[in-house]
């Protein structure tokens, strides 16, 4: 929010950036626009902002964003006076008379802040509960000036509630506060229970279908709201294989697109910014998984030593006299007596497959090893030396080199291998430094059946074998139908090496056969029954209704708990324990349609309260007779305890205190008469 050095250039930059723009991927910051005559009509097409909207130090009287419908609040603005509070819409120290955003219907995350705006009208008339849907978010309206706020004109007479400015076009529109309680996510196009928006909608709708949404909670595919865009690959259950989906689209923000925009790359089913994520590289406009370390270019040096070896970590291309790629070695390898430090092998070059030979050293060599302490080469992956010879001289401990059939590796007819004055074969044999019996006559690079240049009999992976194990007919990873596959396709899970189908209610795959979310269950589902502790009890089909004892709800975008895998999906939550049927949580008749036990007035009860008895047929609580404190029925002779006093013989309760006194006098009189008679 710093002051621009050239405000004219600042305005022109905003105009160039947002002319004909409908979707802002990030934040919209409109600051330091302090000439009343500035034309802001270039903002008229903006419909959605994924981050926050900041308006600060603006002096244009009518600030109009006529098409802005949705602020997603994926990034929020922090204002220094309000600590950790995050704002999705914030207006600061501006002299505008009106902020006209009549199309604004939903702010998904973050609060709204109006701070010390001298002349701003109509903000207080807006019902912000209709717009702000983020959990814990609210409006902050602060005015700390001594001068009173400006007197504002009333809203147009046609407005149902508040307004954004003068005129009928600025009336606030509603799609939430007037909805039926049956609308589980709170948006509707009318007050009836049949006029709820689809759960994929945000901001409102014109009908019940996902194509009727004002905006989409997840993704929009040609005007139809969807939970996911059509995937690039689809599974063919007949051929047990993946095939290209001709209807595929890529996720870009909240839209499904056929091709990613310029300066974006394809990664799986999404569009990502130019820089690929870790462990991937850009190939033909797509981020693909690197085969080994991703390409990394480093400057070469004449010799590798302890002081510079760390600089080559993860390098695949070295510019200079030594060039290493994940599949080639384009220079030559120098190893001199003062550089050995008594190392025994070249195991750290075990993945080296090709030496290009673009530079040669002594004896026209591209591989030159001279007077080292090496005992074995261990270049197990080396298959090609394009140009130059392999020269191995004076390595007194080196075995195996003379066994190598270098003609299998060297491609140049102008060069031959030279191996002189290395350890004699007899001494190597006496020390046990000989090729495995599983190796062919082409030789080996070191000890063991995994160091063979080629195999004498059979090969499994990189290891030579005398014979094949009859149990090796199983697939290495998993078997899908008759085919071996690296992993089971979407919709199946690895069941002990066999791809078995997920439960039919699963979405986005599974890890087991169970009809829930979690280990051995679904990755996600279209609809689910939720237990009282928030865990998924079981998944449902999309069209299934919630069973008795549950009510419709949906998982909000801000969900961070165990239901995060179900964001945007419909769920069935358990009614209150006092309810048998409900459309929301609670035990008032507004949400509880049928009580589990008894209805007392407008609420459900587990037991009827004092002064009431249970009508078992109607499952209601009825008041006891006035004489009773507790009872089993409506009559005075059905009292369990009396409010005043009872008769002795039939346990009838006395209605009032005056009757109680008369009764006491009668007993006293009877007692006195008895004494007189027995004198």
Helix %, strand %, coil % of the chain (to 5):
15, 30, 55
Compare 411 and 670 and report the one with higher pLDDT.
Answer: 411
Which residue, 132, 154, 170, sits at the end of a domain?
170
Which residue, 289, 317, 337, sits at the end of a domain?
289
Average pLDDT over the chain reads: 84
pLDDT at 352: 79
Q: Are strands 628-631 and 639-642 parallel, antiparallel or unpaired?
A: antiparallel
Q: pLDDT per residue over 145-195, tens digit each?
A: 878 888 899 999 999 889 999 999 999 999 988 888 888 667 999 988 889
Q: pLDDT per residue over 609-661, tens digit each?
A: 888 999 999 999 999 988 888 898 888 888 888 877 655 445 577 665 444 44
Q: How far is CA 309 from CA 305, 313, 547, in A?
A: 6, 7, 66
Residue 67: is its pLDDT beyond 90?
A: yes
Q: Are 221 and 236 in contact (CB under 8 A)?
A: no
**Nearest CA-CA partner of 542 in 199, 195, 197, 202:** 199
Same domain (yes/no): 166, 39: yes
pLDDT at 334: 46
Q: Is residue 441, in this structure, part of any structural domain at all?
A: no
Residue 60 to residue 67: CA distance in whole angstroms: 18
Residue 665: is its pLDDT beyond 60?
A: no
DSSP 444: B
Q: pLDDT per residue over 364-377, tens digit each?
A: 788 888 888 899 99
Q: Are 604 and 595 in contact (CB under 8 A)?
A: yes
Q: How many residues does the chain have?
A: 679
Q: Is residue 495, in this structure, part of any structural domain at all?
A: yes
Compare 552 and 678 and report the one with higher pLDDT.
Answer: 552
Q: Are 570 and 550 in contact (CB under 8 A)?
A: no
Q: pLDDT per residue over 205-254, tens digit each?
A: 999 999 999 999 999 999 999 999 999 988 888 888 888 999 999 999 89
Burial track 56-88 (b if 16+ CB lie within 10 A, e otherwise): bebbbeebbbbbbbbbbbbebbebeeeeebbbb
- Matching residue, tokens 């929020």: 76
Compare 90 and 253 and report the one with higher pLDDT.
Answer: 90
Compare 534 and 229 and report the one with higher pLDDT.
Answer: 229
CATH number for the domain harbouring residue 264: 2.10.220.10
- Both tokens of 288, joined, read 């693909």
Which residue, 136, 170, 204, sits at the end of a domain?
170
- Give the side-chain half-sphere CA count within 13 A for 286: 9
Same domain (yes/no): 633, 549: no
**Nearest CA-CA partner of 385 in 347, 334, 330, 345:** 330
Element (H, E) at 661: helix 657-677
Q: pLDDT per residue over 420-444, tens digit each?
A: 999 999 999 999 999 999 999 999 9
Burial of 151 (0-12, 13-18, 19+ CB in 10 A): exposed
Compare 80 and 338 and report the one with higher pLDDT.
Answer: 80
Same domain (yes/no): 569, 629: no
Same domain (yes/no): 559, 629: no
Residue 252, SS3?
strand
For residue 206, the Cα-to-chain-centroid distance in whole angstroms is 29
Written in H, E and C, the secondary structure of 135-182 is: CCCCEEEECCCCCCCCCCCCCCCCCCCCECCCCHHHECCCCCCCCCCC
- Both tokens of 92, joined, read 């600061």
Residue 310, SS3?
helix
Residue 396 to residue 398: CA distance in whole angstroms: 6
- For residues 588-605, average pLDDT: 91
Residue 225 to residue 211: CA distance in whole angstroms: 6
Q: Are 544 and 562 in contact (CB under 8 A)?
A: no
Element (H, E) at 666: helix 657-677
Q: Is residue 442, in this structure, part of any structural domain at all?
A: no
pLDDT band at 126 (very low <50, low <70, confident <90, very high): very high
Contacts of 151 (CB under 8 A, 6+ apart): none
Same domain (yes/no): 37, 165: yes
**Nearest CA-CA partner of 252 in 233, 236, 227, 269:** 269
- The 10 Å Cβ neighbour count of residue 309 is 11
Q: Is residue 303, in this structure, part of any structural domain at all?
A: no
Contacts of 69 (CB under 8 A, 6+ apart): 47, 48, 103, 104, 105, 106, 203, 214, 215
Residue 635 to residue 652: CA distance in whole angstroms: 9
Residue 531 to residue 549: CA distance in whole angstroms: 11
For residue 214, the Cα-to-chain-centroid distance in whole angstroms is 23
- For residues 521-539, average pLDDT: 87
Same domain (yes/no): 166, 27: yes
Residue 410 to residue 284: CA distance in whole angstroms: 33
Number of domains in the chain: 4
pLDDT at 5: 66
Q: Is residue 356, in this structure, part of any structural domain at all?
A: no
Residue 91 to residue 115: CA distance in whole angstroms: 6
- Matching residue, tokens 């865990």: 535
Compare 156 and 677 and report the one with higher pLDDT.
Answer: 156
Beta bridge partners of 71: 49, 107
pLDDT band at 338 (very low <50, low <70, confident <90, very high): very low
Phi-psi region of 503 (alpha: psi -120 to 50; beta: other; left: phi over 0): beta
Same domain (yes/no): 247, 166: no
Q: Are 363 and 340 in contact (CB under 8 A)?
A: no
Same domain (yes/no): 630, 566: no
Q: Is residue 99, in this structure, part of any structural domain at all?
A: yes
Q: Is residue 603, in this structure, part of any structural domain at all?
A: no
Same domain (yes/no): 88, 147: yes
Residue 666: is its pLDDT beyond 60?
A: no
* Global pTM exceeds 0.85: no
Residue 523 to residue 493: CA distance in whole angstroms: 11
pLDDT at 2: 61
pLDDT at 564: 79
Q: Are 522 and 492 in contact (CB under 8 A)?
A: no
Element (H, E) at 426: helix 425-430
Same domain (yes/no): 164, 248: no
For residue 259, the Cα-to-chain-centroid distance in whole angstroms is 23
Residue 471 to residue 332: CA distance in whole angstroms: 44
Q: Is residue 377, in this structure, part of any structural domain at all?
A: no
Q: Are 219 and 86 in contact (CB under 8 A)?
A: no
Range of the domain at 71: 7-170
pLDDT at 370: 85
pLDDT band at 669 (very low <50, low <70, confident <90, very high): low
Residue 222 to residue 220: CA distance in whole angstroms: 6
């Amino acid at each position: 929010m710093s002051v621009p050095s050239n405000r004219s250039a600042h305005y022109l930059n905003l105009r160039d950036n947002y002319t004909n723009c409908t979707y802002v991927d990030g934040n919209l910051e409109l600051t330091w626009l302090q000439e009343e005559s500035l034309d802001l009509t270039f903002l008229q097409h903006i419909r959605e902002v994924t981050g926050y909207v900041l308006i600060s130090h603006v002096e244009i009287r009518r600030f109009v964003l006529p098409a802005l419908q949705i602020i997603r609040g994926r990034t929020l603005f922090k204002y220094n006076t309000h600590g950790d509070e995050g704002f999705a819409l914030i207006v600061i120290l501006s002299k505008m008379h009106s902020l006209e955003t009549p199309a604004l219907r939903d702010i998904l995350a973050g609060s709204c802040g109006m701070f010390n705006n001298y002349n701003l009208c109509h903000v207080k008339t807006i019902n912000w509960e209709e717009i702000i849907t983020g959990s814990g978010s609210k409006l902050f309206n602060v005015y700390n000036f001594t001068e009173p706020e400006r007197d504002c004109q009333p809203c147009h007479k046609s407005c149902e509630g508040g307004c954004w400015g003068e005129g009928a076009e600025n009336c606030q529109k509603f799609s939430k506060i007037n909805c039926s309680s049956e609308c589980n996510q709170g948006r509707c196009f009318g007050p009836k229970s049949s006029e709820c928006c689809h759960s994929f909608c945000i901001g409102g709708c014109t009908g019940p279908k996902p194509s009727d949404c004002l905006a989409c909670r997840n993704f929009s595919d040609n005007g139809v709201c969807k939970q996911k865009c059509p995937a690039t690959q689809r599974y063919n259950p007949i051929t047990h294989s993946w095939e290209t989906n001709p209807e595929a689209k890529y996720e870009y923000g909240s839209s499904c697109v056929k091709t990613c925009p310029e300066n974006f790359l394809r990664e799986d089913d999404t569009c990502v910014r130019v820089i690929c994520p870790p462990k991937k590289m850009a190939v033909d406009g797509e981020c693909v998984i690197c085969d080994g370390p991703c390409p990394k270019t480093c400057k070469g040096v004449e010799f590798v030593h302890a002081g510079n070896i760390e600089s080559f970590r993860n390098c695949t291309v070295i510019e200079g006299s030594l060039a290493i790629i994940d599949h080639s070695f384009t220079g030559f390898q120098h190893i001199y007596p003062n550089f050995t430090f008594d190392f025994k092998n070249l195991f750290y070059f075990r993945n080296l497959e090709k030496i290009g030979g673009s530079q040669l050293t002594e004896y026209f060599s591209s591989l030159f090893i001279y007077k080292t302490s090496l005992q074995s080469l261990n270049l197990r992956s080396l298959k090609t030396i394009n140009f130059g010879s392999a020269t191995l001289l004076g390595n007194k401990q080196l075995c195996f080199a003379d066994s190598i059939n270098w003609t299998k590796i060297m491609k140049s007819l102008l060069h031959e291998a030279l191996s002189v004055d290395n350890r004699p074969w007899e001494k190597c044999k006496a020390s046990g430094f000989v090729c495995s019996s599983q190796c062919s006559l082409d030789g080996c690079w070191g000890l063991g059946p995994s160091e063979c240049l080629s195999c004498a009999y059979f090969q499994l992976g990189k290891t030579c074998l005398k014979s094949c194990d009859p149990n090796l007919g199983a697939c290495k990873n998993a078997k899908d139908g008759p085919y071996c596959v690296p992993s089971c396709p979407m919709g199946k899970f690895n069941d002990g090496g066999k791809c078995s189908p997920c439960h039919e209610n699963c979405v986005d795959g599974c890890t087991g056969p169970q009809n829930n979310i979690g280990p051995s269950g679904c990755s996600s589902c279209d609809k689910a029954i939720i237990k009282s502790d928030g865990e998924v009890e079981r998944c449902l089909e999309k069209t299934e209704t919630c069973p008795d004892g549950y009510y419709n709800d949906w998982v909000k975008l801000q969900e961070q708990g165990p239901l995060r895998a179900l964001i945007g999906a419909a769920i069935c939550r358990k009614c209150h324990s006092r309810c048998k049927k409900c459309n929301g949580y609670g035990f008032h008749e507004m949400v509880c349609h049928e009580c589990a036990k008894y209805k007392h007035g407008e609420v459900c009860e587990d037991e009827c309260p004092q002064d009431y008895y249970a009508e078992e047929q109607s499952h209601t609580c009825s008041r006891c007779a006035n004489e009773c404190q507790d009872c089993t029925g409506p009559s005075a002779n059905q009292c369990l305890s009396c409010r005043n006093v009872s008769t002795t013989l039939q346990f009838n309760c006395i209605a009032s205190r005056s009757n109680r006194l008369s009764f006491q006098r009668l007993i006293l009189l009877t007692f006195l008469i008895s004494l007189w008679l027995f004198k």
